[in-house]
């Protein structure tokens, strides 16, 4: 009997590749989300530092005071934009997670088909082996009977 061969092995390999690709894409999306969160944290820290400096420096002239206010306002706008970027990236991460889950389900389906096919092959092989052994034992018993 020929050895086991899964007819859809190429499809299983493709599904595995799709899952691996989805994992990589999700990893990149999560990394981008972390970078955006870190940048927002940096902006918030800078804004808090600016507020503290402005409070601790009461002897600022009107021009320096104006520069502090403008820069503080710019930081607030940047923080708001960064929060929007984070929300968008979270949507991307969610979509990539769904893609990965779908790819994993598809791969698992193919693996179950492969497993069932292997079980069917083993069952058929055992049946054929049993038939051959039965035939050999019947022939042997028939010869023994004929010789006696």
Confidence label for 60 from pLDDT (cuts 50, 70 and 90): confident
pLDDT in tens, 98-136: 999 999 999 999 999 999 999 999 999 888 888 887 787
What's the CA gap between 23 and 93, in Å, rounded? Answer: 11
Domain ranges of the chain: 9-108
Long-range Cβ pairs for the range 122-126 (8 Å, 24+)? 124/1, 125/1
Task: Output the CA torsion 66→70→75→76 (10° steps).
Answer: 100
Q: What is the pLDDT of residue 148?
A: 61
What backbone torsions phi and psi does residue 104 show, to the nearest 5 degrees? -65, -40
User: 9-108, what's its fold?
Assistant: Helix Hairpins (1.10.287)
């Amino acid at each position: 009997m020929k050895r086991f061969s899964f007819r859809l092995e190429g499809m299983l390999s493709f599904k595995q590749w799709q899952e691996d690709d989805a994992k990589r894409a999700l990893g990149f999306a999560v990394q981008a989300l972390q970078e955006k969160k870190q940048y927002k944290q940096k902006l918030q820290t800078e804004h808090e530092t600016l507020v503290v400096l402005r409070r601790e420096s009461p002897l600022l002239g009107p021009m320096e005071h104006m520069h502090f206010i403008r820069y503080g306002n710019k930081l607030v706008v940047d923080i708001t934009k960064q929060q929007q970027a984070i929300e968008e990236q979270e949507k991307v991460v969610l979509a990539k997670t769904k893609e990965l889950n779908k790819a994993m389900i598809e791969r698992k389906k193919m693996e179950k088909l492969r497993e069932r096919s292997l079980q069917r092959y083993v069952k058929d092989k055992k049946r054929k082996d049993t038939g051959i052994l039965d035939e050999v034992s019947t022939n042997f018993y028939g010869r023994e009977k004929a010789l006696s």
